Amino acid sequence: MTEGARACSVPRRALLLAGAAACLPLRAQPQQGFRLGLLTQDDDERYASQTLQHGYPDAPGGRSEPAAQLGLNDSLVTLQMAGRGSAELVTEEAADTAALPAALQKLLQQGVQHVVLELPAAGVAAVAAAAKGKNVILFNAAAPEDVLRGAQCARELFHTIPSHAMQMDAIAQLLVARKWNRPLVLVGPTPGDRLLQAAWQRSAKRFGVRPVAERAFKLSNDPRERDLGNVRLLTSDREYDAVVVLDAQGEFATQVPFRTVLPRPVLGSNGLVAEAWSPFHERYGAPQLSRRFLRRANRPMTSYDWAAWIAARAAAEVASAYVKAGVAQQAQALRQGALAVDGYKGQRLTFRAWDGQLRQPLLLAHGGGVAEMAPLEGFLHQRNTLDTLGYDAPETACKAG
């Protein structure tokens, strides 16, 4: 081969290699890892050590960081398949409600676009106001108040914790199904009790439950008010099919089961409670999730833990399914039901378009097991039976959905 031919063979070989390389499949370019924010509030009384020690039904069992981290771990394969190389939980704690906007801003500055909120209702509202117009999706995992799904709703705000309306609808469905249509209702004096009362009254009217009476209870050291805390006096002088106790703080409700004058079931804030999760839930692979959480947190999984876990799953799923889409498009996909999440409850779960609430079955659970799962059989809906729990589209007061 002459020197000139040898010189010409080099570019020809390069062309052949280039052509072969063009026929190979393109390798996915690694993208930035997924960062999930968790925003908490130090002065949230529900997480005070003395409150947690009581272990009241349908109350937090501890902080939700282990649940959110477990949700990220369970979504790691999905994230990696979407080209996101890692998953990180970024936690910010605000001292009080006033400090929450600044805490949210810190998360945004760290590249966080999806935030789980472990906050009381006032904190959720404050963060939603601060997030307006910003590239962020918020998941409320700890505030069941209906107003956050109504007048105080926001386009960026989604809810994984069941609302009061959903819980009371589940209780009312059970009363109707069991033909316990004439319950006695005991309601406390606190603002939280009044919210439960409003939700209960709506549900009772919706499903045709007719309480025989509503009686006020009060725990007090004042001798003149002692009768208001006496369960036997409060449950006397009337015939009733069941007792519905509405106690947001939970202390009085613990005294009601087995202390009523008539031998009747107790529902609401104790006895049979409508919950997002119970460690006694044994269907649809649920024990696997409960065991994984128990190993990580060294305590049973509660409704609040499940809400944080499913929020992390939903955030990771939408970020993986819509990698190139902006946050606004991701939020729209969630509201349109284009993405569903498995919550170990027997069906894929989607968010409601009108108020951002996660549709989900509720467990009617007691201290030793799960009696039923709502919606109960026979309660129908024209589109989705899960929408028999909580505010339906024609009922919503949300203007941002």
Residue 303 is assigned to a structural domain of this protein = yes
The number of domains in the chain is 2
Of 231, 246, 274, which one is at a domain's C-terminal end? Answer: 274
User: Each residue of 167-199: b (16+ CB within 10 Å) or e?
Assistant: bbbbbbbbbbeeebbbbbbbbbeeebbebbbbb
Region 316-322: what's the mean pLDDT?
95
Q: Are 71 and 308 in contact (CB under 8 A)?
A: yes
Q: Which residue has the tokens 């117009």?
A: 133
**Predicted local distance difference test score (pLDDT) of residue 13:** 40
CATH number of the domain to which 221 belongs: 3.40.50.2300
30 pLDDT more than 80 = no
pTM of the model: 0.91
**Predicted local distance difference test score (pLDDT) of residue 21:** 38
Q: Are 201 and 261 in contact (CB under 8 A)?
A: no
For residues 61 and 147, state if they share a domain.
Answer: yes
Per-residue pLDDT tens over the stretch 197-216: 999 999 999 999 999 999 99
**Predicted local distance difference test score (pLDDT) of residue 61:** 96
For residues 241 and 203, state if they share a domain.
Answer: yes
**Predicted local distance difference test score (pLDDT) of residue 353:** 96
Of 345, 360, 375, which one is at a domain's C-terminal end? Answer: 360
For residues 156 and 299, state if they share a domain.
Answer: yes
For residues 123 and 266, state if they share a domain.
Answer: no
Q: Are 88 and 111 in contact (CB under 8 A)?
A: no
For residues 350 and 220, state if they share a domain.
Answer: no
Q: Which residue has the tokens 């060294």?
A: 298
Range of the domain at 76: 34-162+277-360
Per-residue pLDDT tens over the stretch 75-123: 999 999 988 878 999 999 999 999 999 999 999 999 999 999 999 999 9
Residue 378 is assigned to a structural domain of this protein = no
pLDDT above 70 covers what percent of the chain? 92
For residues 141 and 108, state if they share a domain.
Answer: yes
**Predicted local distance difference test score (pLDDT) of residue 31:** 55
Kindly provide the residue ranges of all beta strands, DSSP E only, lying in 55-202, ordered along the sequence: 87-94, 114-118, 137-140, 157-159, 184-187
pLDDT-based confidence at residue 239 (cuts at 50, 70, 90):
very high
For residues 157 and 292, state if they share a domain.
Answer: yes
Region 275-281: what's the mean pLDDT?
97
